[in-house]
Amino acid sequence: MKLYIIANRLPVKVANPDGTFVFSRSEGGLATGLDSLQTSYEKHWIGWPGICTNKEKDKVEINTKLEEMNFHPVFLSDANIKNYYEGYSNSTIWPLCHYFFAYTLYKYCFWQSYQEVNQLFCDEICRLVRPGDKVWIQDYQLMLLPGMLRKKYPDLCIGYFHHIPFPSYELFRILPERAEILKGLLGADFIAFHTHDYMRHFISAVERVLHIDFKLDEVQIDNRTVRVDALPMGINYELYHKASYKPEIKQAIDRTRKLFGNHKLILSVDRLDYSKGILHRLHGFATFLEHHPEYHNKVTLAMVIVPSRDHVGSYAELKTKIDEEIGSINGRYSTIDWTPVCYFYHGFSLEELTAMYYVADIALVTPLRDGMNLVAKEYVATKYENTGVLILSEMAGAIVELTDAIQINPNDTEQIENAICQALEMPEKEQKERLKRMQAILSVQTVNKWATDFVNEMNTICAKNEWLRKKHITASTIAQIKLKYNQAKQRLLLLDYDGTLAALKLHPEDAQPTPELINLLQQLTSDPANHVVINSGRDHITLEKWLGCLPLSMAAEHGAFYKENGAWHKNTEKFEWGTGILSILQMFVDRTPRSHLEIKETAIAWHYRESDAWLGSLRAQQLVSALVSICTRQKLQILQGNKVVEIKSPDYNKGSEVRRLLVNKHYDFILVMGDDTTDDDMFQAVPPNAFTIKIGAVSETANYNLSAQSDVLHFLRAILGKQKMTLADESSKNLLISSFSFLKDLLLPNKK
């Protein structure tokens, strides 16, 4: 079995300087961490090789060489790079996720290319993947890919990690393709982010854009669960921590010390990007020099900026402003033997960069927004038996772990100035204590642990989904239930109404039975062996109005009323609601737009199906908290259902009605169908040999699952033998497609 790691770029650089292809491994944190990942799976990479070519001969040569290393190239054209990578990925998604809305550029050709390239990646994965393999997709360039793969192979185990910030809903909603992006991501079984903030923003966006509700960190889609978590990425700690003992780095340390002399060294290392706060940092340093002349000729800022996208307009403009600001500072303060800002507009080797980390007295890391920022972690890790102070932006994901850094708001130049002063004046003992505490965290939360944790959690949720899929009703399940149905002499059919027999409606009064449903219930009740019971939370007046003409039994208001042999019976007296409960509920109606109260004889329900998802969920929690004490005193039960909070007597529920029915008569076939958490009471009240079916989200207590409410009537007709069960829900169709595709791939020769 294989683990396919999917990234925009392969961890190898392919160059063609003199007509001969040269291959060199990348030393990025992701490649390093995944190379050391301990797993029983054979690791393969899929991605762009970093070179564009239209010649088939070149593609064959590159592919042959890369596949020796378990690398599988996806060849992109110059137009793809322009529109998919530089366009949608880095001119639309990147600025939006980093809160630079003014830099966000929308072009339809960008979006079109983004879809096309994600499809190219999907095609390559489908060419290679086999049953039992796992796929781990990396980052924002491939957000549509999980959904594309899910449509092709519904059973495939898919993980996705988002390496940049995920913006708040208010910003993400600006994206015209927001729904398609979210649906694409939800194709994964497991989705992870660097911090809980990004995780929270993602969940909020899904709930508000797609109107899908999470339960804590999970959401159910069709017959599977999608789990979301925060897993901060680490570094190769050992690589940096004792690097100063290596001979080549010792030499680099000596060269660095000679270069900067006795000056206190402040180090900043960034890729050229507007999200890194480089100009703000320079302004803060200039303010420091202006207000603290005593540090002139004593402190040097070494600024390493790695070129990136500098041919793009916004980046070229940023480069010009940086050059001007550095020139202004040096022009104003430099002397013959002192340059305040030493500017390096190029990358450094690992040895040279590690030496700079080791020598630097201060690391100034002040991004305006950053997914994680590994520079801060590398600096701290390198400080082996020497001192140093980390100044870190509170907008960087790394701040969650590196709490002993001096935290600053990068937008406040005065804070940057004060932080530099604090760092320069910090006693060595305090510096070492802070570093020791941060190193204790980094030494455990390594990049290898990050990768291992991700794969383990992905495996866990995929195993759960495999178990959930076994609950999904298939043709063989239907045949089994139908056989038992035909053999039975006395049958009990317990059916919920809303969300089961009838689709959920924004306005509950619109859920009246269709002629199709009435016809089906007539067929079920026409068999004298069938005892059909509608077990609902609705009030008995509505149920009688809609279904009273049929010869069936009914239970209303969660068992407070039941109809048997044509007559309604009451299990409890009409409850007189006190002003306390009513006033609380009315207050929540007033404070939650589009929510409303439903007052029944024996229960009262607050509905928030039409309300904003986030606000409705918040108000539901607040309402339960406000009601707990008063309901406890009055011995009332609080039920939380699907977009409803209900208050009723604890003496009856859907389960108590089932137990009453089972006492009166013996049944050799029992079928129970429901869609809500309140239906779990029914599932738990019947014998183990009953057929219990949850509609929608899979239930721990039900034996089987139907993904869609629209499949319920098809299922019941199939049991009756009136029609062949059609696989109406998309997941069932995809299950067949997946099986066929896997067989085709195994039996037919590969074609590329």
Kindly name the residue from 189, 496, 676, 679 that is annotated as catalytic. Answer: 496
Residue ranges, comma separated, of all CATH 3.40.50.2000 domains in the chain are 2-230, 237-435
CB 192 within 8 A of CB 198: no
- Burial bucket for residue 81 (CB in 10 Å: 0-12, 13-18, 19+): middle
Which pLDDT value is given to residue 472? Answer: 86
Crossing angle between the packed helical segments 413-425 and 278-291, to the nearest 10 degrees: 60
496 is catalytic: yes
Cα distance between residue 100 and residue 274, in whole Å: 8
Residue ranges, comma separated, of all CATH 3.30.70 domains in the chain are 579-648
Q: 94-112 pLDDT, tens per residue?
A: 999 999 999 999 999 999 9
Query: How crowded is residue 289: how many other Cβ atoms within 10 Å of its Cβ?
Result: 19
Which pLDDT value is given to residue 470? Answer: 85
Which pLDDT value is given to residue 574? Answer: 64
Residue ranges, comma separated, of all CATH 3.40.50.1000 domains in the chain are 470-571+652-732
The pTM of this model reads 0.80
Show the 3-state SS of 46-91: EEECCCCCCCHHHHHHHHHHHHCCCEEECCCCHHHHHHHHHHHHHH
Q: Please tell me the CATH code under which domain 2-230 is placed.
A: 3.40.50.2000
Which pLDDT value is given to residue 631? Answer: 84
Q: Is 667 left (phi over 0), alpha (psi -120 to 50) or beta?
A: beta
Q: Please tell me the CATH code under which domain 470-571+652-732 is placed.
A: 3.40.50.1000
* Nearest by Cα to 219 from 232, 205, 230, 206: 206
Which pLDDT value is given to residue 316? Answer: 87
Which pLDDT value is given to residue 575? Answer: 65
Here the tokens at position 736 are: 């067949």
Long-range contacts of 627-634 (CB under 8 A, 24+ apart): 627/581, 627/584, 630/578, 630/580, 630/581, 630/584, 631/581, 634/578, 634/581
Which pLDDT value is given to residue 697? Answer: 79
Q: What is the DSSP string of 366-406?
A: --SSBS--HHHHHHHHH-SSS--EEEEETTBGGGGT-TTSE
Residue ranges of the chain with per-residue pLDDT less than 50? 727-752
Fold observed for domain 237-435: Rossmann fold (3.40.50)
Fold observed for domain 579-648: Alpha-Beta Plaits (3.30.70)
- Burial bucket for residue 449 (CB in 10 Å: 0-12, 13-18, 19+): middle
